[in-house]
């Protein structure tokens, strides 16, 4: 879709800053332990009156302003999230209401931390048929589904949202290639066990703590280290580029120590890896667009730069996008 470009980016994080000392207190760990294991120093958590759609709408407004269009020009709104406002309706319809985007089709995509890349692919598919402009948002409020005593998970996550506006243009960043992968046989590595049709969120489930996010951290690390470099190299080959061509690497902000290992395995000699996790932690589906927006607003990207985007996480899933700035 050479005539559809990324016209603007935006992001939003809540005001509340949560330090490692604060989040570690209930989990029995301190700042040194968290920083050494994750490279995370702080994160943002949503206020009590903020839901995922509120964060998503704030990021969307910033992206629309960056793109120079108004909400009534949108043909579609796609929200990538695994922490929706409610099980139904889709969070995207609340974003539509917040923005006043009358007439836009609105739906959610749940591919957990790979969700932004999956949503980008979905939005491009819609625009291929309908034309117009698309708003693609990654947004999550993980603070609502964390067991505050579980040191394996509670220290990793923050809340936030990031957004991209796509539309027809001769200038702007072009998405040259996308690849999506799912590994359902590994679905148990990351999950929220209760709250769906398989296991309703009843009193027994709540008493067992099954409403909380759960992760087999060691197995997830093995998955990422085993699969991501191989899939990324395959992706670059399919896209017709070589590692030397890549100027920037924007990964899902899972864990800083893990990302160092992944980046070394990718062997991208000219690429800069971009991080926001030091201050924002892992923001789920929001981490890729927040990091893209942060780098773009800092002037890190130059015309013609090739950016490798990698999302990975629950599903298990991985998604890659090649963006030419």
Check residue 11 and give left, alpha or beta (phi > 0: left; psi -120 to 50: alpha): beta
- Predicted model pTM: 0.95
Whether the per-residue pLDDT at 248 is higher than 50: the answer is yes
pLDDT score for 298:
97
Q: Which of 20, 110, 255, 282 is catalytic?
A: 282
- List of E strands, the chain: 4-12, 16-19, 42-45, 74-80, 105-109, 133-141, 159-168, 173-182, 190-191, 214-215, 248-251, 272-273, 306-313, 317-324
Q: Are the beta carbons of 312 and 112 closer than 8 angstroms?
A: no
Whether the per-residue pLDDT at 122 is higher than 50: the answer is yes
Q: Which of 20, 110, 113, 274 is catalytic?
A: 113
Residue 248 appears among annotated catalytic residues: no
- Name the pLDDT band for 169 (thresholds 50, 70, 90): confident
Map out the domains of the chain with their CATH numbers: 4-171 (3.40.47.10), 176-324 (3.40.47.10)
pLDDT score for 36:
96
pLDDT score for 1:
42
Residue 113 appears among annotated catalytic residues: yes
Tokens of 262: 């992944």
Instruction: Taking each helix axis as running N to C, give the angle between helix 217-239 and helix 256-266, from 0 to 180 degrees, rounded to the nearest 10.
Output: 30
Whether the per-residue pLDDT at 81 is higher than 80: the answer is yes
- Name the pLDDT band for 130 (thresholds 50, 70, 90): confident
Q: How many CB atoms lie within 10 A of CB 223?
A: 19
Whether the per-residue pLDDT at 170 is higher than 80: the answer is no
How far, in Å, are 3, 9, 158, 293, 305 from residue 137 at the CA level? 21, 10, 16, 12, 23
Give me the mean pLDDT over the 225-237 stretch.
95
Give me the mean pLDDT over the 204-209 stretch.
94
Q: Which of 20, 252, 255, 274 is catalytic?
A: 252
Give me the mean pLDDT over the 220-230 stretch.
93
Radius of gyration of the chain from its Cα atoms, rounded to whole angstroms: 19
Q: Are the beta carbons of 249 and 263 closer than 8 angstroms?
A: yes
């Amino acid at each position: 879709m050479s005539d559809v470009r990324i016209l603007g980016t935006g992001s939003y994080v809540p005001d509340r800053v949560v330090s490692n000392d604060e989040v570690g207190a209930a989990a029995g760990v301190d700042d040194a332990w968290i920083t050494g294991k994750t490279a995370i120093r702080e994160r943002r958590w949503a206020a009590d009156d903020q839901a995922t759609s509120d964060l998503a709408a704030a990021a969307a407004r910033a992206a629309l302003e960056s793109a120079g269009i108004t909400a009534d020009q949108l043909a579609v709104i796609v929200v990538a999230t695994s922490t929706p406002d409610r099980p139904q309706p889709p969070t995207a319809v609340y974003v539509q209401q917040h923005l006043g985007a009358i007439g836009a089709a609105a739906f959610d995509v749940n591919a957990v931390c790979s969700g932004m890349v999956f949503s980008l692919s979905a939005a491009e598919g819609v625009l291929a048929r309908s034309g117009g402009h698309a708003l693609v948002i990654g947004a999550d409020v993980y603070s609502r589904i964390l067991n505050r005593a579980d040191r394996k998970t509670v220290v990793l996550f923050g809340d936030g949202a990031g957004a991209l506006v796509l539309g027809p243009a001769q200038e702007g960043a072009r998405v040259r290639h996308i690849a999506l992968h799912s590994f359902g046989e590994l679905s148990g590595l990351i999950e929220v066990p209760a709250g769906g049709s398989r296991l309703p969120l009843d009193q027994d489930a709540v008493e067992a703590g099954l409403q909380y996010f759960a992760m087999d951290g060691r197995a997830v690390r093995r998955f990422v280290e085993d699969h991501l470099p191989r899939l990324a190299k395959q992706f670059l080959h399919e896209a017709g580029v070589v590692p030397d061509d890549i100027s920037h690497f924007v990964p899902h902000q899972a864990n800083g120590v893990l990302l160092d290992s992944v980046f070394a395995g990718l062997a991208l000699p000219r690429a800069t890896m971009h991080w926001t996790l030091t201050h924002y932690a892992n923001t789920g589906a929001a981490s890729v667009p927040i990091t893209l927006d942060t780098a773009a607003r800092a002037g890190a990207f130059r015309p013609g730069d090739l950016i490798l985007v990698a999302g990975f996480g629950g599903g298990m899933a991985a998604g890659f996008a090649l963006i030419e700035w």
